[in-house]
Amino acid sequence: MPIDFTQFIDLRPLDVQPADIYLDSIAVARTVLPDFSLRVGTPEDAMFQAISYMTALNVGAINRIPNSLMMGITKMIGAPVHEGTRATLTAQITAISTSGTTIPAGTILAYEVVQNDQVVQYLYYTDEILVIDAVGINDPLPSGTVSCTSVTIGLVPDINTDDELVVLSYDQSIYSAKCSGDFANGTSMESTNDFLSRAVTYIQSLSSANTTKNQLQSFLVSAYPDLITRAKVYDLTDPGGTLDVDETDEPGYATIYAYGPNRLLTTAEKTEIKNDAVARSVAGITLDVLDPPLLNFFVNATVLYDSSVTSAALSSQITGNLIELFNPLNSQYVEERLRYNTVLNAIQLNSQVIHVTALSIGYTRTATITGASVSGPSVTYTANNNFSVGQTVTVTGITPSGLNIANKIITARNATTFTVGASGGASGSYSSGGTATVTYSGWSGADGNDLLYDKKGSLLQLTEGNILLTLEAYTN
């Protein structure tokens, strides 16, 4: 068994719990009065509970290490604070005459947005001197481009190409300015709690050689904070094998699943991470870095809600909660299953939800076919459906059988029809029958109401089109 001290790392004190103080107080009282017994609901019991609670608060205050001191200590051992970054863009500045001009570095430009009926300006300064060359007297006014940096650290409103910028620095030689592209938003400064949580991971990763999967996971997240947002390592897993959840152990192998900043990593990025991980791992282990499979699924729910809120507003809030929780950046990465109760709790987060009267989660969705027509390589089926463009559909049970298809991509749809292209020779005139089924891959089945992952390292990816809500207002 390799040595692993990571479970002993915790930058926050383990405070004494009120229940422990309560029980210890009773034990002390019995050393003086052996027959001492507290009955629930008596004044004595209330006093013991109140004193225990207040004592726990005092212990916590006495033991608490100031966050600023803890941050200083962790900085000394190499865990830097993310101070945040500034947004950048390229601005196109037009001179007021054909004679051209020279724009000094530090010229202030502003992007204006209306927020709460007020105009708010977000300031940018030019990074360098911009020289705009003169042109002919009959030519359009000359312009040039220069990189700009936001005055403010953190996130600012997105700026699109050709959005107007206001020139705040007094300069009679400038006619106009606008964004010419290359906008990159900034990042917010890290909070104290976020830093301390990350510092724990950093300290866990400190080792000349990684000997456990937890150490390797901590190292990856700490070494690539701007590149890796989610990482999971599997021991005894051959990346060249099937990578099924229930596959047998393969000694000598380990597999890393890494997800980037809301995207999959490139081949070059995965190669760099692999080489770095191999260099810091004990000899004899074969490593590889893979993309996590992204799992789509369906949510159908009937919700009883307080009629004081509109159904449209509540539907938007519930959908937003579900999408926020079940996406690659936030979905759980501990076990290979989607739990029914987790979805249920996400719907019940909103205080206007009185009761979830029905809920189903699954990776298939069906629709009954009532008609079909062939047009060149495409087939349009008539069916009340909740499908989406891009999903893979299989149609069975139609007479004649020439209109049945397997694993075709939906190219267009509305509430009553959907169309597939490249139908592979589908033909005939619709007579009767038919069921359309959309199935998402990556699932191995169900365990009760829970769905089971098929592949290791999978991450969830729920989209708005896969959420079907039926809202029923409750009135007294």
Give the model's pLDDT for residue 3. 43
Give the model's pLDDT for residue 15. 62
3-state SS string over the chain? CCCCCHHHCCCCCCCCCHHHHHHHHHHHHHHHCCCCCCCCCCHHHHHHHHHHHHHHHHHHHHHCCCHHHHHHHHHHCCCCCCCCEEEEEEEEEEECCCCCEEECCCCEEEEEEEECCEEEEEEEEECCCEEECCCCCCCCCCEEEEEEEEEEECCCCCCCCCCEEEECCCCCCEEEEEEEEEEECCECCCCHHHHHHHHHHHHHHCCCCECCHHHHHHHHHHHCCCCCCEEEEEECCCCCCCCECCCCCCCCEEEEEEECCCCCCCHHHHHHHHHHHHHCECCCCEEEEECCCEECCEEEEEEEEECCCCHHHHHHHHHHHHHHHCCCCCCCCCCCEECHHHHHHHHCCCCCEEEEEEEEEECEEEEECCEEEEECCEEEEECCCCCCCCCEEEEECCECHHHCEEEEEEEEECCCEEEECCCCCCCCCCCECCEEEEECCCEEEEECCEEEECECCCEECCCHHHEEEEEEEECC
**Which has more pLDDT, 35 or 58?**
58
- Choice among 11-20, 280-289, 433-442, 458-467 with the minimum mean pLDDT: 11-20
- Choice among 229-233, 346-350, 427-431 with the minimum mean pLDDT: 346-350
Residue 90 has pLDDT above 80, yes or no: yes
249-305 pLDDT per residue, tens: 898 899 999 999 889 999 999 999 999 888 888 777 899 999 999 999 999 999 999
Give the model's pLDDT for residue 205. 67
Give the model's pLDDT for residue 258. 96
**Which has more pLDDT, 240 or 5?**
240
7: confidence class by pLDDT, cuts 50, 70, 90: very low
Q: Which domains, from first to last, does the chain contain? A: 12-64 (no CATH), 86-184 (no CATH), 207-291 (3.30.300.200), 298-363+444-474 (no CATH), 364-439 (2.40.30.180)
Give the model's pLDDT for residue 1. 33
Give the model's pLDDT for residue 64. 64
The arithmetic mean of pLDDT across residues 63-84, rounded, is 72
Give the model's pLDDT for residue 127. 94
Give the model's pLDDT for residue 380. 95
Residue 356 has pLDDT above 50, yes or no: yes
432-448 pLDDT per residue, tens: 999 999 999 999 999 99
Give the model's pLDDT for residue 392. 92
**Which has more pLDDT, 117 or 251?**
251
393-420 pLDDT per residue, tens: 999 999 999 999 999 999 999 999 999 9
Give the model's pLDDT for residue 470. 96
457: confidence class by pLDDT, cuts 50, 70, 90: very high
The arithmetic mean of pLDDT across residues 40-62, rounded, is 83
Give the model's pLDDT for residue 65. 64
182-241 pLDDT per residue, tens: 899 888 887 777 777 777 777 766 666 666 787 788 888 888 888 999 999 998 999 988
pLDDT, mean over the chain: 87
- Choice among 54-63, 142-151, 382-391 with the minimum mean pLDDT: 54-63
Give the model's pLDDT for residue 396. 95
- Choice among 29-38, 88-97, 385-394, 451-460 with the minimum mean pLDDT: 29-38
